[in-house]
Amino acid sequence: MNVVKQIFGTDLRQFTMVFALVALLLGFHIASGGNMLTPGNMQNLIAGNAYVLILAIGMVMVIVIGHIDLSVGSVAGFVGMCVALSARDLSFPWWAALLAGLVIGAAIGAWHGFWLAKVGIPGFITTLAGMMIFRGGVIWISGSVSVPVPPELNVLGAGYLPEWGPGFTQLNNSTLLLGLIAIGLYAWNQISTYRQRVADGETDLNRTAVIIRVVLVAAVLGYVTYLFGSGRPGTSFPVPGLILVVLVLVYHVITQRTTFGRHIYAVGGNKQAAALSGVSVSKVQFFVMMNMSFLAALAGILFVARATSAGPTDGNMWELDAIAAVFIGGAAVSGGIGTVTATMIGGLVMATLNSGLFLMGVGQDKTQVIKGLVLLAAVAFDVYNKQQGRPSITGRLFGDRGKSESTTDSAQIAPAAPGAAEA
């Protein structure tokens, strides 16, 4: 029994959302007659939802600091249109148009950050105004017509990893290499963690549990590698998915392993205590909002690259899907709780619902009703567990921030970096 606990954790319920995601995938696969877990459908699921998942990465940081960004869909649509117009009307090369779009996104985020961090207007109001401004702006500058984007951008939104090497693998070798790297990195991380804990004097660790856990995860990653690498010729793991994976890794490190990440959770847990500990609250708020719009710009570029044109209605209601992904992933409405990894699980649950219900022929009207009920149930489940004194979904899944369920006090907040200015 001790080995089982070390493999899965002391409470099997810690994997609630992971189990829910697996159950949805298997359930829809059976209900759709085997059409869910196919290479083509999974490639479309990742490529078609990458932009929402990218928005969710930034949104979880905004929600952790106790705010919300309602403008991300409008910003994504506005930036996508700016990229298209700069290439068509200003003759920008595709790479210059892309960079210009990212700069515009960062500038919009700085604008939102200024009103929140310096003027003190709540993020909800600041970004509500931004939503109106940039939703009107995209219609204004486009003249209510679609504008094509440079064809070179299409690889970012709809491309696949290239094929190379021997054919005897019967898989796309780029995807195969990516899967092997993922398995190797996970195994290395688990072994390094085990050795570090042994060096720290922990005596109740079981090497067999670590080996079994690595084998189980390697089996899952191996199946995913096969699924994405065995599609029709010319397809493989989508480029938008690769961009998403890189962003998840980068932002996981930023939020969990850096001083700035600790400051984000400190501000969300208790802003006053964070300020007394030397955290520059205004700087954290400013950069989190700027980062959000930067990611919204990237999401907008990926979307128009996949669609091959920018339209005046692009980005409409995207913010709601991003917010839903964050809360299904276990983030707290009051701030201070939430992780990038758990948010990705929440986002994949929503994407799986969209794909599975579509395969079953369920209309958009009923799909929206079901997604709303899932969101409500996930948050209600979280609230119930907190009332019972148990960890939230996020706390059970990834534990690092589960200790912050209660109000963070000054003793729990990481000290500011040397020389950090007070708020």
> In this predicted structure, what is the pLDDT of residue 394?
41
Give the whole-angstrom CA distance, residue 395 versus residue 403: 7
> In this predicted structure, what is the pLDDT of residue 406?
39
User: Under a CB-based contact definition with an 8 Å cutoff, are residues 51 and 318 in contact?
Assistant: yes
Last residue of a domain, one of 171, 204, 237: 237
Report if residue 169 sits inside a domain: yes
> How many other C-beta atoms can be found within 10 angstroms of the C-beta atom of residue 352?
22
Residues 276 and 169 in one domain: no
Instruction: Work out how many domains the chain is built from and give that number.
Output: 2
Residues 262 and 115 in one domain: yes
Residues 13 and 142 in one domain: yes
Sign, Cα dihedral of 299, 303, 308, 313: negative
> In this predicted structure, what is the pLDDT of residue 400?
45
Report if residue 16 sits inside a domain: yes
Residues 223 and 263 in one domain: no
Provide the whole-model pTM.
Answer: 0.87
Domain limits for position 219: 161-237
Give the whole-angstrom CA distance, residue 23 versus residue 96: 44
Phi and psi of 310, rounded to 5°?
-105, 135
Residues 287 and 316 in one domain: yes
> In this predicted structure, what is the pLDDT of residue 7?
64
Report if residue 314 sits inside a domain: yes
> In this predicted structure, what is the pLDDT of residue 378?
76
pLDDT in tens, the chain (423 residues): 566 666 665 444 456 778 888 999 999 999 999 999 999 999 999 999 999 999 999 999 999 999 999 999 999 999 999 999 999 999 999 999 999 999 999 999 999 999 999 999 999 999 999 999 999 999 999 999 999 999 999 999 999 999 998 888 889 999 999 999 999 999 998 899 888 888 888 777 778 888 888 999 999 999 999 999 999 988 999 999 999 999 999 999 999 999 999 999 999 999 999 999 999 999 999 999 999 999 999 999 999 999 999 999 999 989 999 999 998 888 888 888 889 998 999 999 999 999 999 999 988 889 889 988 988 887 787 677 666 555 544 444 444 444 444 343 433 444 444 344 333
Give the whole-angstrom CA distance, residue 276 versus residue 333: 23
Residues 202 and 278 in one domain: no
3-class secondary-structure state, position 216: helix
Tell me, what CATH number does 346's domain have? 1.10.3470
Chain mean position to CA 217: 21
H-state helical runs in 270-313? 271-276, 281-307
Residues 227 and 104 in one domain: no
Report if residue 247 sits inside a domain: no
> In this predicted structure, what is the pLDDT of residue 422?
39
Last residue of a domain, one of 191, 206, 237: 237
Give the whole-angstrom CA distance, residue 199 versus residue 342: 29
> In this predicted structure, what is the pLDDT of residue 176?
95
Report if residue 151 sits inside a domain: yes
Write out the two tokens for 106.
Answer: 């960062």
Report if residue 77 sits inside a domain: yes
Residues 22 and 147 in one domain: yes
Residues 35 and 99 in one domain: yes
Report if residue 148 sits inside a domain: yes
Residues 80 and 8 in one domain: yes
Give the whole-angstrom CA distance, residue 384 versus residue 391: 10
> In this predicted structure, what is the pLDDT of residue 304?
96
Give the whole-angstrom CA distance, residue 187 versus residue 179: 12
Closest to 44 measured CA to CA, from 241, 264, 222: 241
Residues 66 and 206 in one domain: no
Residues 338 and 189 in one domain: no
Report if residue 423 sits inside a domain: no
Give the whole-angstrom CA distance, residue 371 versus residue 333: 19
